[in-house]
Amino acid sequence: MIKVGIVGGTGYTGVELLRLLAVHPDVQLTAITSRKEDGLPVADMFPSLRGVVDLAFSSPDKADLTQCDVVFFATPHGVAMAQAPALLAAGVKVIDLAADFRLKDQATFEKWYKIPHTAPELIEEAVYGLPELNRDDIKGARLIANPGCYPTTMQLGFVPLLKAGLVDAGNLIADCKSGVSGAGRKAEIGTLFSESSDNFKAYGVHGHRHTPETSAQLARYTEQKVGLIFTPHLVPMIRGMHATLYARLNKDIDDAALQALFEDTYKDSAFVDVMPFGSHPETRSTRGSNMLRLALHRPEGGNTVVILVVQDNLVKGASGQAVQCMNLMFGLDETTGLKQIALLP
């Protein structure tokens, strides 16, 4: 059994990890930390876990995380970089769901996240945890930088086209929408029911910190300079993410060949569903599951490819993807504990 610790178990990604790991056949939940909720039974905070998780939260100084095989950090940016060096030195593998190790350039990280990086020696070692693109590297990793939710949709949508050299990498557009849970489990005016319900708005238009993460990863698959316009939106639902991606073709290719390109790219990826050409994937078709669905369009047969991508931002966009990485790191089947079917209606 894999002994698992979770640092920061009271947020949405933390409880999602608990939901998935509590029924994982190869996992033993060992420690769940929360400084504020020290001693509180997990099931008292999250009744959905009654009878399934019998642990109590413990403060970080009481939890002996070095006894774990792997520790997930479902914490604000900056926490993992402070604790990862000691855990790694003790032989514990680390999966960070925040952004501490996503960017390889330290200056870029500090510019966008406004905090100093305290473990720069680990930046290069960290493996970007997007299994569909980095499966082999993840298998041998001891430190995983779990991707952001928006970047997951953008990369899985754009990468097949970039690798094939079919589109202008300098003219990529991503128009993306996320449910309110993407903002985290905290009291904030913008995510209050009265503010977000029956409302729709864009944010971060001038620049969003997922842009440098996504651009840096996309650059690995093209010799062109990547130019990405990314606009996120908040939609009045709890879970779900929809990305509408636009790319301009620079070579002649028919629709059947475009479809075949994506189907071939993801033929061995259990959690990417390439739907028939011209389909319209819905967010509810992925709710509560680790599945990402995408579909291709080519308006009026022109030179613009439109890729529609949907996922659950808390599962494939966060905790489910982290568990997917853990499975690979410990030699398990990638799908272990992640075969939940989406909830509908």
Nearest to 97, CA basis, from 221, 179, 182: 182
Whole-number Å distance between alpha carbons of 245 and 76: 28
- 149 counts as catalytic: yes
Inter-residue contact 154 to 174 (CB < 8 Å): yes
SS3 percent helix, strand, coil of the chain, rounded to 5, is 35, 20, 45
For the chain, what's the residue count?
345
The closest alpha carbon to 69, from 116, 108, 111, 31, belongs to 31
Query: Which DSSP state fits 182?
Result: G
H or E element at residue 15? helix 12-21
DSSP conformation class of 58: B
From 68, 149, 176, 325, the catalytic residue: 149
Question: In the numeric block, which tokens belong to residue 156?
Answer: 């899985």
CB neighbour class for 56 (10 Å; exposed up to 12, middle 13-18, buried from 19) = middle
Q: Are 177 and 241 in contact (CB under 8 A)?
A: yes
The tally of CA atoms less than 13 A away on the side-chain side of residue 30 is 20
Exposure b/e, 15-26, CB count within 10 A at least 16 = b: bbbbbbbbebeb
Please give the positions annotated as active site. 149
